[in-house]
Structure 1
Amino acid sequence: MDSNPPFLDQYGALLHNSSEFRESLLNHKGDSTVGECQLPLIDLMNLTSGDERERRVCVGEIAKAASEWGFFQVLNHGISHELLEDMRREQVKVFEMPFEKKLGCSLLNDSYRWGAPTATSLKEFSWSEAFHIPISKISEEGCCDGEFNSTREVMEKFAAAMSTLARSLAGVLVENLSQSKQFFEDNCNERTCFLRLNRYPSCSLSPDIFGLVPHTDSDFLTILCQDQVGGLQLMKDSKWVAVKPNPDALIVNIGDLFQAWSNNIYRSVEHKVMVNPKVERYSIAYFLCPSYDSMIGSCKETSLYKNFTFGQFRQQVQQDVKMFGIKVGLPRFLL
């Protein structure tokens, strides 16, 4: 069993004493999923082809997927295969460090996270580790020194490319609602957004152990670059479905803030990652976020939600996780 991070040393009692864990070992069923789904696949080349009809069709496809699925995949997204491979190589190099070094050093601005410190049961536990890095911190002194200088260089290029793509997609979704893009231009930039490097070690203990617990994203938009191991699942028509990896596509999903801002026209959908018993999984997520004092109001009259800032939303999420073990999210802010 993987000892980097030392999950069993830290959480062994929690896992083995959990009634959910014992039941899963007896039943060996895991979560009931409905096979694999192929997310809507959208060719972004049509946004810049110069053909206005093709562009309108593409905008409609993106908006429809954001409304019906909350998730979609994009091709011809403008991020080169070489840059994606470079980022993956640097990511693996960082995670291959000894656990004590990841935990104790200042690499990537002390952004290392692992396991689930607040978990009291199996359903609250995540078998994964991550570096959750503010984009603005990547270029700071001490973020990546010595053997990791190349990591900084690649991350800066990768974050810039993801930022361009995220702002372009957000612009399309705003355009579809006939709204001004000014809010996103003023409030979402490298000072407010995040990059998250994820690793999900293999785990043969139980098919019910989460790599990442069910959740929605607390941002406007997330862009995910994943390997071909699989494990991502999302809620569709009240059932969990597994997302089939596509080696040529990036995954995009709507976050809570976009659902509120669009007055529920776009959907922030619950999703999770399940562990693989034999192989580890890597992914990288870019989160398009506003500043903490940005007011998130509805773009439509007769809003379904109270006005709230991103900072207030984050604070409420943290309080709920601490008190209840789970994120409550948008229902807290319904009128």
Structure 2
Amino acid sequence: MHRQEVPFINVISTSLSTPNLFPKRIIMEVEKDQTVSSATIPTIDLSNVDKELVARAVVKASQEWGVFQVVNHEIPKELIQSLQKVGTQFFELSSEAEKEAVAKPENSKDIQGYVTNIQKDVEDKVDRVDSLFHNLSPPSWVDYRYWPKNPPEYRQVNEEYARYVKKLAEKILGWLSEGLGLDHEALINKGFGGGDNVVYTMKIIYYPPCRAQANLVLGLQPHTDIHGLTILVTNEIPGLQVFKDDQWFDVEYIPSAIVFIIGDPLLRMSNGKYKNVLHRTTLNKEKTRMSWVVLLKPTYDMIIGPLMKFTGDGDETPKFKHITYREHVDRKVNNLPLD
């Protein structure tokens, strides 16, 4: 297995006059509507005044990589820092009792709650990865029993972050809808069930330094996401990698950047046009890595499948059956064929 090191790309700019979607070489390719080809995962500047160019960049990144980062996304840097601060404070509480107070109940079929996963490497050395899940939206799905009470500002910060991330997700999904030749609201309404029905779940993952060999221990095994869209920020410790062209690529850390990952349902909704990227997370031997992940998914009874209309007159044919999201989850969890 080959791991390729990729250079850091600094594309953060407050200037609205400079087209800063990608590094200069890639901008020229996008403007000519050529295929974006780079050893670096796309980083897109949402402040660019040419929104058509921004939209095309989002669509191309989703088609060719299935992952991209966005900067200048209007989520305040201070809010992201607060989100990271309260999450870190919870996981570093000295009192295990306070963590167990929001623990996932034993035998619960719901994913919400605090959990600890024990992992072993080939030499039976043990490491742990802690996670906290709780729904952010819609209100009918929110259960504050699984929201930490300490630190006390945890709820306020997460609810404010949820408001911003929903607006950003709808903007990205709007561009992806138009990239399929559909109206701007198609994916959010027809794919995910409409604004007040789309489920947003917060997942915070805490990877302490691993005692085993870091290159042998994976925090998360290679997988594609069961959820429709994954929206994440991390601390400064790298570890997220994506698979493309028979190689693993590091997702470089850019302060305050938001990472988007295309999941299985979007692959189905787009009839395979958007890539559900294979990715994994590695652990660090010396430093703690954390990630704050918002999972965007339809309700379990929502039908997912290609959203485009197929006339049968030589047009592209549907590649996926229409199934409920619950059936998709059940089949993937049980390693059954999806079609």
Q: TM-score, normalised by structure 1?
A: 0.77
CA distance in 1 between partners of 2:198 and 2:265 (Å): 17
1:86-107 deviation digits (Å, cap 9, x = unpaired)? 0011001110124742653136
2:122 aligned with 1:112: no
Match of 2:177 in 1: 174
The alignment partner of 1:45 has SS state of coil
2:210 aligned with 1:203: yes
CA distance in 1 between partners of 2:248 and 2:155 (Å): 37
1:154-200 deviation digits (Å, cap 9, x = unpaired)? 01011111111111101110011121324513345476221111111
CA distance in 1 between partners of 2:89 and 2:69 (Å): 27
Match of 2:35 in 1: none
Where does structure 1 differ by over 6 angstroms across 4 or more consecutive aligned residues?
119-122
CA distance in 1 between partners of 2:147 and 2:61 (Å): 38
Matches within 5 A, 1:62-73: 62-73=58-69
> How many Å apart are 1:73 and its aligned residue?
0.9
2:329 aligned with 1:314: yes
Matches within 5 A, 1:206-245: 206=213, 207-245=215-253
Match of 2:46 in 1: 44
Match of 2:263 in 1: 255
Cα 1:129–1:297 change in 2 (3 A) is: same
AA in 2 matched with 1:295: I
Q: Is the 8 Å Cα contact of residues 221 and 287 (structure 1) preserved in structure 2? A: yes
Give me the CA root mean square deviation. 2.8
Q: Is the 8 Å Cα contact of residues 231 and 260 (structure 2) preserved in structure 1? A: yes
Cα 1:256–1:104 change in 2 (3 A) is: same
Identity fraction in percent: 26
AA in 2 matched with 1:32: H
The alignment partner of 1:87 has SS state of helix
Relative to its length, the structure with more helix (as a share) is 1
CA distance in 2 between partners of 1:147 and 1:58 (Å): 40
Match of 2:93 in 1: 97
- Comparing 129-138 with 152-161, greater Cα deviation is found at 129-138
- Comparing 181-190 with 222-231, greater Cα deviation is found at 181-190
CA distance in 1 between partners of 2:187 and 2:176 (Å): 13
Match of 1:184 in 2: 188
Cα 1:120–1:292 change in 2 (3 A) is: farther
- Comparing 136-145 with 268-277, greater Cα deviation is found at 136-145
Structure with more contact order per residue of length (Cα contacts < 8 Å, sep ≥ 6): 1
AA in 2 matched with 1:192: V
> How many Å apart are 1:116 and its aligned residue?
5.6
AA in 2 matched with 1:34: Q
1:208-254 deviation digits (Å, cap 9, x = unpaired)? 10111111111221111011210111101011122221114211111
2:328 aligned with 1:333: no
Q: Is the 8 Å Cα contact of residues 198 and 297 (structure 2) preserved in structure 1? A: no
CA distance in 2 between partners of 1:281 and 1:303 (Å): 41
Q: Is the 8 Å Cα contact of residues 135 and 190 (structure 1) preserved in structure 2? A: no
The alignment partner of 1:333 has SS state of coil
Q: Is the 8 Å Cα contact of residues 70 and 254 (structure 1) preserved in structure 2? A: yes
Q: Is the 8 Å Cα contact of residues 177 and 187 (structure 2) preserved in structure 1? A: no
Q: Unpaired runs of 5+ in structure 2?
A: 7-38, 106-111, 311-316
